[in-house]
Copies of this chain bind each other. A is one copy, B any other.
C-alpha cells in the first residue's frame, strides 16, 4: 500500500492525503478523518526512504561506537545509555543507527555518514582528554551532542554530563567522615575524561581536610574484576595499606573484595569498599545492600534520554548554538561501610 493507491481508493489526490496525514492545517476536518480512517484500515505507513529523499531529512541519529583492540569500550553502561536514548527516538520518530568502527577509521566513518546522508546528527560517547572528534564534527557541520566533556578543549560544544567531580568528592567525604585517612582510588583509564574528573573530586575532598595525596593509593585501569583485584592486592601489601577503597566500577570493587579476603582481612571491619556503580543490579528496591554511592544505571539511562532530546531539539530547530547540561548523580550512600579501624 502506498500513497498513490490510497489516494485513488479515496478519490483524492496524493497531495491531499499526504497533507491530511501529516497534520497540515489546510485540510478540512471531514477529509482528514476520512483519510486517517482509511489509512489505519489499510495499515498504511509512508515509505521511509521516499519520505527521507523528499524531505532531505534522514530521521535517524547515528551512534558511533569506536572499538579498539586495546580497550573494551563496549561496556555494560553503554547498554543503558542506548536504552534511554532509544525511548526518546521511538517517541520522536527517529531511527537509531549504530555504527561500530575500528578506532583508526573513526574520522572516515564520520565523513561518510555525513556525505551519504543517512543520519541527521550523531551522539558521541566516551570522550578522551583532548579528543579530536569535536573539531572533526564541527568542520563537517554535522550536528552532535557529546555524552561527557572534554577537558583539553576550549571551544564550546554541546554536551550532557554527570557531575563526576561532585560525586567522587562526596564519596570521599563519606569515607573521611568515618575517619578513614588512607583512602585508595581505583579509577578508570586515565585517558578518559570522566576518570580524570572523578580523580579531581577525590583530590579535592582530601585537600579540603589537608590530607596529603599518596600516589601509591591511586591506580587506574580498565575497570574489570581483574583490575580491582590486582591493584587492591598490591596496595594492601604496602607498608601502610589503605583502610578504604573507592572504586569507579562495581567490577573493580568486586575484584578488590576478593583481594581483601585473600589477604585474610574482614570487609567492613579492616577494610571498607565504596563503589561508584550500580550498573549491574546491585541496587535492589532502592536500598543499597552493599556500599554504593551512585545509582549509575538509572543516571546513565537518564543521560541517554537527555542527550537524545537535546540533539533532536538542535536538529529540528536548526539552531547551532551549543547547549549543555550537567546532571547531578543520584546518590545512594551504602550502609554497610564501616569506620576506619583504629590502629
Contacts and interface: CB of A to CB of B under 8 A. Distances in A.
A281 B284 CA distance: 24
A49 B89 CA distance: 19
Copy total for this chain? 2
Given A49-B117, A49-B118, A96-B97, A82 B86 contact: no
Given A280-B251, A281-B225, A116 B48 contact: yes
A48 B60 CA distance: 12
A261 B87 CA distance: 40
A296 B16 CA distance: 55
A44 interface: yes
Contacts of A90: 99-101
A156 interface: no
Interface centre among A58, A79, A87 (most CB of B within 10 A): A79
A251 B118 contact: no
Interface residues of A, number: 59
A63 B100 CA distance: 14
Contacts of A95: 97, 99, 118
Given A96-B98, A99-B96, A226 B43 contact: no
A224 to B, nearest CB: 3
B224 A281 contact: yes
A132 to B, nearest CB: 19
Given A83-B74, A95-B118, A224 B100 contact: no
A47 interface: yes
B48 A117 contact: yes
Contact of A115 (B45, B50, B96): B45
Given A98-B96, A282-B226, A65 B49 contact: no
Closest 4 pairs between A and B when the two form their complex, measured CB to CB? A86-B100, A224-B281, A76-B76, A49-B52
Interface of A: 1, 43-50, 52-53, 58, 60, 65, 67, 72, 74-76, 78-80, 82-83, 86-87, 89-90, 95-101, 111-112, 115-118, 222, 224-227, 229, 250-251, 254, 257-258, 261, 267, 280-282, 284, 289
